């Protein structure tokens, strides 16, 4: 019990959606929320939103507007986070060649070092927690599968956005 799969077609109203969510899914959501707090405490000098911004910029998301969409944050929130990271010398703003209105975000050497320290600290905390997990490999595989779904959904949203922009 509690392992039943619920399709989007099965949950047409908010009341049905609330009733249809399995106990396992609720427990997983609580655990993931708790884990996010644990990782934020472990991340040291960077908050989790700062970590997320630095890691995305380091991977190539160079525009604040792209970051806002990727992180599901408002542009003013991203702007404030970028301002703080820039003030601490972890991120730089540079003009895009040929587009004076756009700003390129670049992780500094200090930002890369802070990112590495935070990632190492969070990974160390995850390792500590996983010591008590009987089937660590299955959990890691499950998280990788969730990551794959998240990435696929991101691509679908981006494609839909591009289609809407192309239609207008």
Residue ranges of the chain with pLDDT lower than 70?
A: 1-19, 61
Question: The whole model's pTM is what?
Answer: 0.73
> What pLDDT, on the 0 to 100 scale, is given for residue 10?
52
Read off the pLDDT of residues 59-95 as tens digits, 9 standing for 90 and up: 886 777 778 777 878 888 888 999 999 999 999 988 7
> What pLDDT, on the 0 to 100 scale, is given for residue 61?
67
> What pLDDT, on the 0 to 100 scale, is given for residue 19?
62
> What pLDDT, on the 0 to 100 scale, is given for residue 1?
46
Token pair recorded at residue 97: 């060649």
Angle at Cα 119 formed by Cα 43 and Cα 25, nearest 5°?
A: 75
């Amino acid at each position: 019990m509690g392992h039943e799969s619920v399709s989007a077609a099965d949950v047409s109203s908010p009341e049905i959606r609330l009733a249809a969510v399995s106990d396992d899914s609720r427990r997983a959501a609580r655990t993931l929320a708790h884990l996010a707090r644990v990782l934020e405490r472990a991340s040291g000098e960077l908050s989790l939103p700062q970590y997320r911004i630095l890691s995305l910029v380091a991977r190539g998301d160079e525009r604040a507007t792209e970051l806002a969409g990727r992180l599901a944050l408002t542009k003013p929130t991203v702007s404030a986070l970028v301002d703080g990271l820039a003030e601490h010398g972890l991120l730089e703003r540079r003009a895009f060649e040929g587009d004076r209105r756009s700003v390129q975000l670049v992780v500094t050497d200090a930002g890369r070092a802070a990112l590495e320290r935070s990632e190492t600290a969070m990974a160390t905390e995850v390792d500590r927690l996983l010591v008590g997990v009987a089937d660590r490999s299955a959990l890691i595989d499950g998280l990788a599968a969730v990551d794959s779904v998240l990435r696929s959904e991101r691509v679908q949203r981006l494609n839909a956005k591009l289609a809407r922009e192309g239609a207008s």
